[in-house]
Structure 1
Amino acid sequence: MPTIAALVPGRRRGTPDADPVLRAYLNEQLAAATGLAEQLRRAAALDVLAGERTTLLRVRREVAADRAALRTAMRRLGASTDWAVVGVGWLSAHAGRVAPLLHRLPVLDRVAGVLPTAHPARAAVVEALLALEDVLGGLHRRAVAARLLGELVAVQELRGDWTSGVRGLADRARRQQEEVEAAHRRCAAPLVTPG
């Protein structure tokens, strides 16, 4: 009867199961990448970010490709996917849809002294800035984790086509972070410009 390792596609026969701590860490990163893709989709859908939509959707496609590279690395390292952890990441990203609604509650508006009816465009800018900051947090986390994964591959002297994709994750995340930061600066201009 074939072993589990032999049945997992892309996993070399005889590859030992990953350290449970490494497996848990990689699954957390996979869940974070899943949530990041949802955050990017949500940010790209905001009307005030229409000028940034192409960039945000391209970064989302790249994050999806990088997520696939992470899943390949996990298989090669013997770390199975914990779908419960990934599902919680997906759900938490969808729960983020509630945050903009909270910003519109009349009680919070009175406490903060904000009248959204008087400045709807500026209120939309705030919503977009918060969405972009969520994305930036996810991109920063991904860059740090990708650097660690690249070091893991290098230290273990792993070889194969899949390792080049892993080694490039940190550079791609850093570049994506710079692009989204530039979008954030452009979006913030109405708040910092008197008027």
Structure 2
Amino acid sequence: MLSVPALLTGRRRAAPAADPVLRAYLNEQLAAATGLGEQLRRASTLEVLLPERTTLLRVRREVAADRAALRTAMRRLGASTDWAVVGVSWLSAHAARLTPLLHRLPVVDRVAGALPAPHPTREAVVEGLIALEDVLGGLHRRAVAAGLLGELVAAERAEWAAGVRGLAARARAQRDEVEAAHRRCAQPLLRT
């Protein structure tokens, strides 16, 4: 509730500082959402996932919106953003782009710039599957953590808290969509 001076000045009282452990947890979740956005961006650029690009980019936009809802909740709960934690997560997501090189047998073809095959190669399919599995892991983590965050703000009646309470359901729906894309991507590999 706003105090009379806050109503007169139009400013809200600053939220009390959050418990340091809660602040660390929320920053880890913010960092994970940042990394997940980068994983989705990377997956959407893979040639083998071209048919799934629209879905992946839409899920990325939704994750960005959910990340914004988390930042709002953090401000309301008095948990400041630890940009070092968020930055390290962003960097690690960028470093994950090197992972496919370790999983592909014909690395020389990739380095030498071999022409893409008319149909996805089995190696490209595996690269797409690994990228989607990284995304699925991040979405599952988000769904679990969002359930806990929803419980944390269950008593709050403010509009921002309603957005936080909806994060778990959105993360599960996003995970289901990306899992369906994973199954579609796996079809060429299953047709041996």
Alignment partner, residue 62 of structure 1:
62
**DSSP-derived class of the 1:97 partner:** helix
Q: Which residue of 2 aligns with 1:187?
A: 185
The 5 Å alignment of 1:97-112 reads 97-104=97-104
Q: Distance in 2 between matches of 1:51 and 1:105?
A: 24
Give the RMSD, CA atoms, in angstroms: 2.2
In the TM superposition, what is the alpha-carbon distance from 1:15 to its structure 2 partner?
A: 2.2
Q: Which residue of 2 aligns with 1:176?
A: 174
Normalised to the residue count of structure 2, the TM-score between the two structures is 0.86
Contact 1:125 1:188 in 2 (8 A): yes
Amino acid at match of 2:43: A
TM-score (norm 1): 0.84
CA distance in 2, matches of 1:14, 1:89: 28
Closer, same or farther: CA 120–51 of 1 in aligned 2, 3 Å = closer
Distance 1:60 1:48 in 2: 18
Percent of residue pairs bearing the same amino acid type: 81
Q: Residue 36 of structure 2 contacts residue 135 of structure 2 at CA under 8 Å; is this kept in 1? A: yes
| Correspondences of 1:5-154 after superposition (within 5 Å) | 12-104=12-104, 121-154=121-154
2:112 aligns to what?
A: none
Unaligned runs of 5+ in 2: 1-5, 108-116
Deviation (angstroms), 1:191: 1.0
SS of the counterpart of 1:13?
coil
| Stretches of 4+ aligned residues off by more than 6 angstroms | none
Structure 1 segments unaligned to the other structure (5+ residues): 1-5, 108-116
